[in-house]
Structure 1
Amino acid sequence: MPKRILIAGGGYVGLYTALQLQKNMQPGEVEVTVVNPENFMVYRPLLPEVASGTLEPRHAVVPLRAVLRKSRFVSGTLTGLDVERRVATVQPPAGPTREFEYDELVLGLGATSKLLPIPGLVDHGIGFNSLAEAAYLRDHVLGQLELAHATNDPELRRCALTFVFVGGGYTGVEAIAELQDMAVDVLEGYPGLDPAEMRWILIEAMDRILGTVSDDLAELATTELTARGIDIRTGTLLESAENGRLQLSDGTKLTTDTLVWVAGTRPQSILGELGLPVDERGRVVVDDTLRVNGHANIWSAGDCAAVPDLVKGGTCPPSAQYAVRQARQLGDNLLRTVRGQAVKSFRYRSRGEFVTLGKNKAVAEVLGCKINGSLAWTLRRAYYATQIPMLNRTVRVLGDWLIGMPFGHDVVDFGSREEPRGAFRRAAGKR
């Protein structure tokens, strides 16, 4: 009988673990089932370019059914676990829950936005963790430019042209840089709007942005962003966001329709309900072979796991670069376990870091060398083009990049897709 391997989560860990199994498993050796709420994996490093319109949203995802042809895909969400019976409970999009028996279980549930109890944040903020959020922000920013151009009310105009991002890590820096670059590029299509009227503000609680990269790289990014007029407020907290009126810890008060919350992530809350060991941050505790402590047949990696870093000490950073390598090691260890062989420890040293800052703008650290400008931007694109696990998607992404290079950003606002039934209801005389 083939061993049943159940993978909960279709992100980096789930996808790349399944791909590694498909690549090396023998016929009849294992049965792989992948459970995920969506039938695609979002290639997250490309989300900032989706937000700026550089990439078509569909090209920044990997369709799970298309790449996992030797695996079984089930749409659903993990809701429970019986470790004694080796049974996982899954909630499909509709209907009753289902139970899946397993011999080996992989938890690759990723992370979600880490919200703080700030008044008004939930009602007025938006995250930047999903394809829908990235696409929405592009339309929203263009919609704000349209609003500012159409109104004669100076307060409304100032509110529309104020864009606030909370969180100066990778996601926050790349998101504000790409969207500001897009907004400046399209502004010539809005006669009467002055670039100086736009206020782009990045709020970071720590004493510098990009806290996980070297000081030199963070300084390069800071210099680039401030030269473009982006207001970086370090050592600053958002205290309130009620009614779109922001109160900052430095005493600043702002009125804005754009509040983007990118101040970190946390593991999915279900992890704390499964009866498995978790650390103070809610991550599953695993050993250096990626096996959950105290559970010989349960494994985990990526953002939802506290993976020991055997190179630098502590735990591995929650980055795509580490998650992909962990998943490949996990796939190998699963097959080693099935075959009765000794598993191996995960050990990886980062090859470098890339931070995109808009079209032809980026900073990077590659093999110890600091790079910025067009070269860093080109190297980043070349690297990610080689990492997309599907030739079809690689060609589409390269096509978007090549076609877009000689042209500016598209000014079309598809904000109406947020309410697709609006035109239909208006035709019926309803509002």
Structure 2
Amino acid sequence: MSRPRVVIVGAGFAGYRAARALARLTRNRADITLLNPTDYFLYLPLLPQVAAGVLEARRVTVSLPGTLHGVRLVLGEADGIDLDARSVHYTGPEGGTGTLGYERLVLAVGSVNKLLPVPGVAEHAHGFRGLPEALYLRDHVTRQLELAAADADRETCAARCTFVVVGAGYTGTEVAAHMQLVTAGLARRHALPAGVRPRWMLLDVAPRVLPGLDERLSRTADRVLRARGVDVRMGTSVKEATHDGVLLTDGEFVASRTLVWCVGVRPDPLVEGVGQPLERGRLVVDPTLQVPGRPEVFACGDAAAVPDLERPGKLTAMTAQHAWRQGRVAAENVAASLGLGRRRRAYRHRDLGFAVDLGGVQAAANPFGIALSGPVAGAVTRGYHLAALPGNRVRVAADWLLDAVLPRQSVQLGLVRAWSVPLESASPELARVPGGPKAGERGKPGADRPAPGPAEGTDPPDPASP
């Protein structure tokens, strides 16, 4: 008898965990195919450390072919799903198209940048959702300090040394914290004009930093940021972005060449075309992660509106912690539906706490509800990430050790240019226009048309919580 075909779309936290768990549960009794644009799983919580130069880029990637034994990888991005024909249509990285048939489908396509209708943001800001954006931000910040040191115009120099991060959630807070340390180090190596120093601004319309987390974590993060000189402005955001700076909602114009957009994420637009009920843009599923009326379709992670059984009437948050656990439950329920595992179970969770890395030895964490800060929280945070990483643990630990004893390198790699990581690629209307990047190419170097940004004077990233 032929083995049942299972297709998993997406290899983020939910998709990767589902593929790995399903392969172990079925033991080669199912034909498992994973569709993903890249050949790696990206561990998003450590991405700010890549931008800061603490970790090498490959440390936060885990090879799919190397770790998912018994799973066939197909490189490509899903264009559409025909539920009646039980098929997934996709476009490969070189423009070719294909179709995958299935008996069971797991949708784990994750999320994309949330692009708000603020004039100039799509053209002059950059997000922080992948390796290209992290590498670009590292080069861009380094270049701005180097150009500022050689610029005779004091106003231009000050603008190049001003960096604006919008969104004080998990991602924006960590980006501002890590990159402030980077620019402080760069300023010591470059002779900036007297009185000019790197300036970081963190903006959010929320009343406090990390608004979705415990208030104790918020207070710790706010204290650390302000002590380092970060200009934290709550209740404030960007009204308009231009090449020369940003106009804030309070009327102030801030001259800057850098705008990092970290206002949050929204479900991947692919789920809108599935033709099933949505809740806040997420695909409605029952507690077993099955799409109602479609017993062969399961969804998990950021793309799924999963009922929170611990808080009746609520949905689980779009975090890596939920996605990772939901991936495991989805795998168990798919296996059960094929008669290859135990009975199905509902997704139920217990909050293990959160950890926010603030750079250096500073962090804020509340494991099991115990509030921690400072070096102790830093040790707990790094220990958690080492335990959660599905690979590269020794290499990550080695990079941390080297960073503690050796100075960081501040050279530009020049691997990613501004036009290859446009924020507008987060919008399906902009990303899929005729002549624009094809599916599977969005956000990849060289794939998009040039879009001038505020960087370099002529040519500025919410991952889920752990």
Q: What TM-score does the superposition give when structure 1 sets the normalisation length?
A: 0.93
Paired letter, 2:241: A
Could you report, residue by residue, the CA deviation over 1:119-162 in whole angstroms, capped at 9, with x for unpaired residues? 11111100001111011111111111101111110111011000
Separation in 1 of the partners of 2:384 and 2:233? 31
Q: Which residue of 1 aligns with 2:464?
A: none
Give the CA deviation at 1:416. Answer: 6.1
Could you report, residue by residue, the CA deviation over 1:216-272 in whole angstroms, capped at 9, with x for unpaired residues? 210111111111111111111211002333111111111111000000111111211
Separation in 2 of the partners of 1:418 and 1:408? 26
Paired letter, 1:291: Q
Match status 1:352 vs 2:371 = no
Paired letter, 1:88: V
Give the CA deviation at 1:72. Answer: 0.5
Name the SS for the 2:172 alignment partner: helix
Could you report, residue by residue, the CA deviation over 1:367-414 in whole angstroms, capped at 9, with x for unpaired residues? 111111111111111111111112xx1111111111111223222222
Match status 1:242 vs 2:242 = yes
Separation in 1 of the partners of 2:339 and 2:63? 30
Give the CA deviation at 1:276. Answer: 1.8
Paired letter, 1:307: V
Q: Which residue of 2 aligns with 1:389?
A: 390
Q: Which stretch shows the higher mean deviation, 205-214 or 156-165? A: 205-214
Separation in 2 of the partners of 1:407 and 1:32? 44
Name the SS for the 1:80 alignment partner: strand
Give the CA deviation at 1:80. Answer: 1.5
Match status 1:94 vs 2:94 = yes
Name the SS for the 2:243 alignment partner: helix
Matches within 5 A, 1:280-291: 281-291=280-290
Matches within 5 A, 1:176-187: 176-187=176-187
Paired letter, 1:70: G
Separation in 1 of the partners of 2:93 and 2:367? 43
Name the SS for the 1:133 alignment partner: helix
Paired letter, 1:294: G
Could you report, residue by residue, the CA deviation over 1:163-215 in whole angstroms, capped at 9, with x for unpaired residues? 00000100000011000012112322113466862221001011111111111
Separation in 2 of the partners of 1:193 and 1:402? 34
For residues 119 and 51 of structure 1, do their structure 2 counterparts lie closer, same or farther at Cα, with a shift above 3 Å needed? same
Q: Which residue of 2 aligns with 1:80?
A: 80
For residues 22 and 364 of structure 1, do their structure 2 counterparts lie closer, same or farther at Cα, with a shift above 3 Å needed? same
Could you report, residue by residue, the CA deviation over 1:97-124 in whole angstroms, capped at 9, with x for unpaired residues? 2111101000010111011111111111
Separation in 1 of the partners of 2:351 and 2:51? 27
Separation in 2 of the partners of 1:91 and 1:317? 30
Q: Which residue of 1 aligns with 2:212?
A: 212
Give the CA deviation at 1:84. Answer: 1.5
Q: Percent identity?
A: 36
Give the CA deviation at 1:353. Answer: 0.6
Match status 1:139 vs 2:170 = no
Match status 1:130 vs 2:130 = yes
Checking the alignment, whether the CA contact within 8 Å between 2:105 and 2:297 is kept in structure 1 is yes
Q: Which stretch shows the higher mean deviation, 351-360 or 407-416? A: 407-416
Q: Which residue of 1 aligns with 2:344?
A: 343
Q: Which residue of 1 aligns with 2:254?
A: 254
Separation in 2 of the partners of 1:20 and 1:96? 30
Checking the alignment, whether the CA contact within 8 Å between 2:283 and 2:304 is kept in structure 1 is yes
Q: Which residue of 2 aligns with 1:300?
A: 299
Q: Which residue of 2 aligns with 1:18?
A: 19
Match status 1:411 vs 2:414 = no
Checking the alignment, whether the CA contact within 8 Å between 2:7 and 2:102 is kept in structure 1 is yes
Give the CA deviation at 1:417. Answer: 5.2
Q: Which residue of 2 aligns with 1:169?
A: 169
Checking the alignment, whether the CA contact within 8 Å between 2:243 and 2:257 is kept in structure 1 is no
Give the CA deviation at 1:294. Answer: 2.1
Could you report, residue by residue, the CA deviation over 1:307-327 in whole angstroms, capped at 9, with x for unpaired residues? 111123411111111111111
Residue correspondences, number: 417
Q: Which residue of 1 aligns with 2:463?
A: none
Paired letter, 1:366: P
Paired letter, 2:12: G
Q: Which stretch shows the higher mean deviation, 243-252 or 50-59? A: 243-252
Checking the alignment, whether the CA contact within 8 Å between 1:143 and 1:415 is kept in structure 2 is no
Paired letter, 1:299: F
Q: Which residue of 2 aligns with 1:401?
A: 400
Separation in 1 of the partners of 2:234 and 2:198? 20
For residues 196 and 358 of structure 1, do their structure 2 counterparts lie closer, same or farther at Cα, with a shift above 3 Å needed? farther
Q: Which residue of 2 aligns with 1:105?
A: 105
Q: Which residue of 2 aligns with 1:427?
A: none
Paired letter, 1:389: P
Q: Which residue of 2 aligns with 1:5?
A: 6
Give the CA deviation at 1:356. Answer: 0.7
Checking the alignment, whether the CA contact within 8 Å between 2:132 and 2:416 is kept in structure 1 is no
Separation in 2 of the partners of 1:255 and 1:384? 37
Separation in 2 of the partners of 1:283 and 1:364? 29
Q: Which residue of 2 aligns with 1:429?
A: none
Q: Which residue of 2 aligns with 1:157?
A: 157
For residues 265 and 290 of structure 1, do their structure 2 counterparts lie closer, same or farther at Cα, with a shift above 3 Å needed? same
Checking the alignment, whether the CA contact within 8 Å between 1:186 and 1:408 is kept in structure 2 is no
For residues 238 and 86 of structure 1, do their structure 2 counterparts lie closer, same or farther at Cα, with a shift above 3 Å needed? same
Name the SS for the 2:371 alignment partner: strand
Separation in 2 of the partners of 1:334 and 1:403? 43
Paired letter, 2:417: E
Give the CA deviation at 1:70. Answer: 0.8
Paired letter, 2:395: R
Separation in 2 of the partners of 1:417 and 1:368? 40
Q: Which residue of 2 aligns with 1:425?
A: none
Separation in 2 of the partners of 1:378 and 1:7? 35
